[in-house]
């Protein structure tokens, strides 16, 4: 298992998340959980959805196996880049000229005035999608060369851009702040593209794309493109159930009390820290080597990585789950409760965070097991599993949102995560899973979780006594 690559990804994600927290702390202080914070989060929801889809591996899971197998890598990658560029630019133009329609689809519970206020921000934020596609495309080429640091670190630039905007405009009215944040998203995306282009040049991969453009009419990659096209939609759908569930939750939250969209957004930022730091970092680092191993029929290496990755994630995500649930209120209090963010909003956000954390372990492990589906071209099966997970999440959301509010939407997402994990393990092989858990590490895991939960329980009681 490539621990160096995992730690590189983890460090980059940690640094990015630290700046993300700083951004959210400043944003909570300036906007709180309010009318304009809800508007910005919703306007940023669609590009953020696609950012998560691209950046967290859905595109890479379709592109990497096809790229590894391609005999004309330059021509193939250039053709895919041009095809996606045209499609995304066209979509961005549609959103630019019809933002009200797209906004209404995302916030069915909002009135005409709020839709009108949100629509211009939706149009601005949507252009970030093309920038993050360029970043993800180049990042996949860098991953093939097992270069991870640029991509892992680059999100810091987006967060820095937003923090600077908040600090410059924090004394202005909330509407101006929301617009400044939207512009800063594009600035951050442009900076991410720039550093990836520099890395591409340093690794001499620009030759690949230049050669691909030069010989695109002289090399036949039709079969490779057809195979990629056949894999792409199932791969993206299969790798995006969590993001789709989050998107659905935002839509349903628009029917709840003001602040619900913000509660979900703030809590999800915290939930995504251990998920990104451990699960996504591990999956990103292991996917190129697993793809190459399965292509070369070296199953022993591939499944050895699965075993080590499973226990690494089980312990790390297990600790994070217990800590996030038992310390949810102190965490929210420490990070967000100041100025416009009050004690009642702390309690509401903490409840949402606790429900999200119930799904951390299964979602992280599902991402690890799903690598074998994508590397072995079983994207269709991954898509079917994702569909079932999304349907379960929607049904659970509709049942739980009325009695539990935003917390019910978060709990529904966790239920969908468990369904995703169980079905993914079943598809990869229950025998593989049982071979992993039938070891002494299972006993150590249970004991460690029990001791840790006791320590956190008493720590939480002491902290709550101090802050309340």
Digit-coded pLDDT (tens) for 90-110:
988 998 998 888 888 877 778
CA dist., res. 108 & res. 101, Å (int): 10
Mean pLDDT of 57-78: 75
pLDDT category of residue 316 using cuts at 50, 70 and 90: very high
pLDDT greater at residue 46 or residue 399: 399
Q: Cβ distance 266 to 37 under 8 Å?
A: no
Sequence-distant (6+) residues with CB within 8 A of 141 are 67, 77, 200, 205, 208
Mean pLDDT of 165-178: 89
- Phi, psi of 219, deg, nearest 5: -120, 135
pLDDT category of residue 389 using cuts at 50, 70 and 90: very high
Task: Look at residue 195 in the predicted model and tell me its pLDDT.
Answer: 94
Mean pLDDT of 190-208: 88
pLDDT greater at residue 384 or residue 36: 384
Of the candidates 426, 432, 428, 61, the one whose C-alpha atom is nearest the C-alpha of residue 238 is 61
Task: Look at residue 47 in the predicted model and tell me its pLDDT.
Answer: 76
| Residue 415 in this model has a pLDDT that exceeds 80 | yes
pLDDT category of residue 221 using cuts at 50, 70 and 90: low
Query: End-to-end CA distance of the chain, in Å?
Result: 46
For 332-359, how does the pLDDT look when each residue is reduced to its tens digit (9 = 90+)? Answer: 888 887 777 788 888 899 999 999 999 9
Say whether 11 sits in a helix, a strand or coil.
helix
| Residue 3 in this model has a pLDDT that exceeds 70 | no
Average pLDDT of the chain, as a whole number: 84
Q: Cβ distance 5 to 146 under 8 Å?
A: yes
CA dist., res. 409 & res. 89, Å (int): 33
pTM: 0.71
pLDDT greater at residue 183 or residue 439: 183
Task: Look at residue 464 in the predicted model and tell me its pLDDT.
Answer: 62
CA dist., res. 61 & res. 239, Å (int): 8
Sequence-distant (6+) residues with CB within 8 A of 435 are none
Mean pLDDT of 180-208: 90
Q: Cβ distance 345 to 384 under 8 Å?
A: no
Of the candidates 299, 308, 330, 320, the one whose C-alpha atom is nearest the C-alpha of residue 363 is 320
Q: Cβ distance 249 to 409 under 8 Å?
A: yes
Task: Look at residue 24 in the predicted model and tell me its pLDDT.
Answer: 80
Task: Look at residue 215 in the predicted model and tell me its pLDDT.
Answer: 57
Task: Look at residue 356 in the predicted model and tell me its pLDDT.
Answer: 95
pLDDT category of residue 56 using cuts at 50, 70 and 90: low
CA distances from 466 to 233, 290, 395, 458 (A): 51, 49, 40, 13
C-beta atoms surrounding 73 within 10 Å: 21
Mean pLDDT of 17-35: 80
For 112-158, how does the pLDDT look when each residue is reduced to its tens digit (9 = 90+)? Answer: 888 888 899 999 999 998 998 899 888 888 887 878 788 878 888 99
Considering 185-194, 241-250, 289-298, the range whose residues carry the highest mean pLDDT is 185-194
User: DSSP string spanning 44-81?
Assistant: THHHHHHHHHHHTTHHHHHHHHHHHH-SSHHHHHHHHH
All structural domains of the chain with their residue ranges: 3-467
CA dist., res. 250 & res. 106, Å (int): 8
């Amino acid at each position: 298992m490539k621990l160096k690559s995992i730690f590189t990804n983890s460090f980059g994600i940690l640094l990015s998340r630290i700046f993300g927290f700083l951004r959210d702390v400043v944003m909570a202080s300036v906007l709180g959980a309010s009318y304009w914070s809800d508007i910005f989060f919703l306007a940023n929801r669609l590009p953020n959805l696609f950012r998560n889809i691209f950046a967290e591996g859905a595109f890479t899971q379709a592109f990497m196996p096809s790229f590894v197998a391609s005999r004309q890598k330059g021509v193939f990658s250039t053709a895919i880049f041009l095809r996606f560029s045209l499609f995304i630019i066209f979509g961005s133009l549609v959103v630019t000229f019809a933002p009200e329609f797209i906004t209404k689809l995302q916030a069915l519970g909002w009135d005409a005035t709020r839709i009108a206020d949100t629509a211009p921000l939706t149009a601005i934020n949507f252009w970030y999608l093309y920038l993050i596609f360029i970043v993800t495309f180049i990042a996949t080429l860098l991953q093939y060369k097992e270069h991870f640091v640029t991509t892992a670190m680059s999100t810091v630039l987006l967060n820095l851009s937003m923090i600077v905007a908040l600090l410059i405009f924090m004394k202005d009215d909330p509407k101006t702040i929301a617009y400044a944040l939207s512009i800063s998203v594009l600035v951050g995306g442009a900076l991410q593209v720039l550093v990836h282009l520099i890395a591409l040049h340093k690794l001499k991969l620009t030759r690949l794309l230049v050669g691909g453009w030069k010989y695109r009419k002289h090399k036949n990659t039709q079969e490779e493109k057809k195979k990629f096209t056949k894999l792409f939609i199932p791969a993206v759908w299969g790798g995006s159930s969590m993001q789709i569930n989050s998107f659905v939750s935002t839509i349903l939250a628009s029917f709840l009390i003001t602040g619900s969209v913000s509660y979900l957004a703030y809590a999800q930022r915290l939930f995504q820290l251990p998920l990104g730091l451990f699960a996504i970092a591990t999956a990103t680092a292991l996917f190129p080597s697993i793809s190459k191993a399965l292509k070369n029929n070296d199953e022993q290496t591939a499944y050895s990585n699965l075993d080590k990755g499973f226990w690494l994630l089980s312990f790390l995500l297990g600790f994070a789950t217990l800590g996030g649930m038992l310390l949810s209120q102190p965490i929210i209090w420490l990070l967000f409760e100041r100025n416009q963010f009050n004690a009642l909003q702390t309690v509401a956000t903490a409840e949402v965070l606790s429900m999200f954390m119930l799904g951390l372990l299964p979602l992280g492990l599902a991402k690890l097991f799903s690598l074998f589906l994508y590397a072995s071209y079983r994207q269709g099966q991954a898509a079917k599993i994702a569909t079932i997970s999304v349907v379960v999440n929607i049904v659970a959301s509709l049942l739980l949102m009325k009695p539990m509010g935003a917390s019910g939407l978060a709990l529904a997402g966790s239920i969908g995560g468990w369904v995703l994990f169980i079905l993914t393990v079943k598809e990869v092989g229950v025998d593989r899973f049982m071979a992993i858990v039938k070891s002494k590490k299972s006993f150590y895991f249970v004991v460690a979780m029990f001791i840790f939960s006791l320590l956190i329980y008493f720590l939480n009681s002491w902290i709550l006594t101090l802050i309340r």
